[in-house]
Structure 1
Amino acid sequence: MAVADLLVVINYVILTRIRDFYFPNNFLFMTPFCSLQSALNHASTDISVWLTVAFTFDRFVAICCHKLKTRYCTERTAATVIGTICPIFCFKNIPWYFAYEGTITTGLIQWGCNRKLEYYTVAAWIAFNWIHRWLTPLIPIFLIFLFNAFTVGHILAASKTSRRLRAGRNDRDQRDPEMHSRRKSVILLFAVSSYFIILWVSYVVYFVLLRITSHYYSTCFNDPMYITDQTSHILLLLSCCTNTCIYVMTQSKFRKQLTNRVKYLPTIIFKCLK
């Protein structure tokens, strides 16, 4: 998930947003390159979102399904899930490359990327657009809500049972390691999923307004739809950037591995120079 979020930052923030404002008129503005960049932006965002869903389901299984936990919550299963999600959403976003046309032509080279008129009128493109929005983020939001609801219900039931047992043994003051571990897992789970849902809501609202009003082109920077569009994308990108920060703050194993990698980097550089 951290790697997927980092790819969103590289593709969507650095190579697209920062490039547009601070590095104009470079080769990345050629139509083939910016079309490819759009496909990479959507692919990295989809992978980040669906790995969040997979993480939520993994925590649901670990907390609520003890029989399935031993078979599902393994490194092999995690590798299989990641290896399935990444190729599927890379393939799914290939059509974005063909959704754009050049703005101007210099010699034989096309520059800029504008969405083709067919993108808004042809039934196949409209269907693709709806499928894209359902897959990211409507279905993920529903699944995260569903898994979290089951997890919360299980946690509350387990807490009541644990309190009854401890009260019967008169050891109310003793610490329950299982409940403590479960509580830490729930805090991480809700931190990731809550940020995801809150920061994606504006994007869903913008998409609904866009389809209701058919306001596909903005006339100026003060256009309310343009402001809504830009705000929703800022929050979308922020959603894909928070997971790594949450892991650093909450997960000791993640912090330890990150520290080891940082310490190991100078060693590699020294060996190469030597």
Structure 2
Amino acid sequence: MYILSTGKCGLSRCITRYLMSMSAADLMVLIFEAILYEIKEAYFPHSFLNYTPICSLNLALLYFSIDCSVWLTVAFTFDRFVAICHQTLRARYCTPKIALVVMTVICSLSILQNIPVYFIYEARELIDNVPWSCFVKSSFYTSSFWTGYLWFETILTPFAPFLLIILFNTLTINHIILANRVRSQLQAKNREKNPNDQEIENRRKSIILLVALSGNFLLLWSVIFACFICVQFIDTQFLETNYNGPFTIAERFGYMLRCLSTCTNTFIYAVSQRHFRDEIKNMVRRPFARLFNKL
């Protein structure tokens, strides 16, 4: 985030804003899921973070950050689709102002979407009249409202992002392939075919990047997506406490991969840029250079 904020990566302000927002959302996932939920639960089970209101709030913020991370990735994928495939719309849509509006809308809707999550949980136990830990309410598994909400959540994340990312990247890759074919034909007619055409090489790298991003998202979300499907058709539920059951093991494994997914997309986008890699090298070298100068 620091390197992106310097503006020295050779990226447009629009792309930089998307990458900054995606990085911030990914950082929130690490804070709310990896640190304040998983690590806290394993190593600090009796901290104030386990008070039921705080625990419920943390879980709501956890799902909010995941939704932000996923839908900002979708928004950025659509932005790149417009920039590559629709040149006439590009000048109006691919701007810092539109990017800011899109990010604001996504974050606002994610907050509204995850407000009900706070009310899913109740205290696991009372200690000196203080509610401790978070336990899924029994009504969550029987109430038609919560059943509908679970379906709504499943459609929004991850079903819709799955389809949209595949759709936009497929259309973008198809456009690049057609453009390369036309360029090669024109070069052949003009007898100026260049085997090391830089434009075609850049487009080839774009295809590799888009395939890597789509494959990364689909692979790391596939387990939890399969769990969402299983819940609808077999006699099992999410968030069960039987940690030896095969479904619960798969569910926990899916959460681990989902957490990993929120960290890798921004990394792939950023590290694929040569200027970004150069800035990382400079940032690592700078302290040593200052130390050697003092010596």
TM-score by length of 2: 0.83
* Shift in alpha-carbon separation, 1:262–1:27, aligned structure 2, 3 A: farther
Q: 1:32-47, aligned counterparts within 5 Å?
A: 32-47=53-68
Q: Does 1:15 align with 2:42?
A: no
Distance in 2, Cα, partners of 1:40 & 1:96: 9
CA deviation after TM superposition for structure 1 residue 197, in Å? 1.1
Match of 1:91 among 112, 115, 118: 112
Alignment partner, residue 151 of structure 1: 172
Alignment partner, residue 159 of structure 2: 138
Distance in 2, Cα, partners of 1:262 & 1:41: 32
1:215 is paired with a residue whose SS is coil
CA deviation after TM superposition for structure 1 residue 257, in Å? 6.5
Match of 1:246 among 244, 268, 272: 268
Match of 1:102 among 123, 129, 133: 123
Alignment partner, residue 15 of structure 2: none
Q: Does 1:231 align with 2:253?
A: yes
* Shift in alpha-carbon separation, 1:260–1:120, aligned structure 2, 3 A: farther
Alignment partner, residue 199 of structure 1: 220
Q: Does 1:188 align with 2:209?
A: yes
Residues 103, 114 of structure 1: 8 Å contact kept: yes
Alignment partner, residue 82 of structure 1: 103
2:194 is paired with a residue whose SS is coil
The answer for unaligned runs of 5 or more in structure 1 is 265-274
CA deviation after TM superposition for structure 1 residue 258, in Å? 6.5
Q: Does 1:68 align with 2:85?
A: no
Tell me which amino acid in the other structure corresponds to 2:177: L
Distance in 1, Cα, partners of 2:265 & 2:38: 20
Alignment partner, residue 166 of structure 1: 187
2:68 is paired with a residue whose SS is helix
CA deviation after TM superposition for structure 1 residue 174, in Å? 5.7
1:25 is paired with a residue whose SS is coil
Distance in 1, Cα, partners of 2:280 & 2:90: 27
Deviations 1:48-88 (A, max 9, x none): 00011111111111111111111111111111111111111
Deviations 1:131-163 (A, max 9, x none): 011000001101111112211221121111011
- Which stretch of the first structure deviates more once superposed, 79-88 or 240-249? 240-249
Alignment partner, residue 147 of structure 2: 126
Tell me which amino acid in the other structure corresponds to 1:147: F
Deviations 1:99-128 (A, max 9, x none): 100010112210011111111111111111
2:33 is paired with a residue whose SS is helix
For these two proteins, the number of residue pairs brought into alignment is 265
CA deviation after TM superposition for structure 1 residue 262, in Å? 8.7
Deviations 1:191-219 (A, max 9, x none): 22221111111111112222322323656
2:131 is paired with a residue whose SS is strand
Residues 5, 243 of structure 1: 8 Å contact kept: no
CA deviation after TM superposition for structure 1 residue 253, in Å? 4.4
Distance in 2, Cα, partners of 1:180 & 1:74: 26
* Shift in alpha-carbon separation, 1:186–1:87, aligned structure 2, 3 A: same
Match of 1:25 among 46, 49, 73: 46
- Which stretch of the first structure deviates more once superposed, 238-247 or 113-122? 238-247
Distance in 1, Cα, partners of 2:148 & 2:249: 26
* Shift in alpha-carbon separation, 1:249–1:79, aligned structure 2, 3 A: same
- Which stretch of the first structure deviates more once superposed, 206-215 or 86-95? 206-215
Over the matched positions of the two proteins, sequence identity in percent amounts to 42
1:222 is paired with a residue whose SS is coil
CA RMSD of aligned residues (A): 2.2
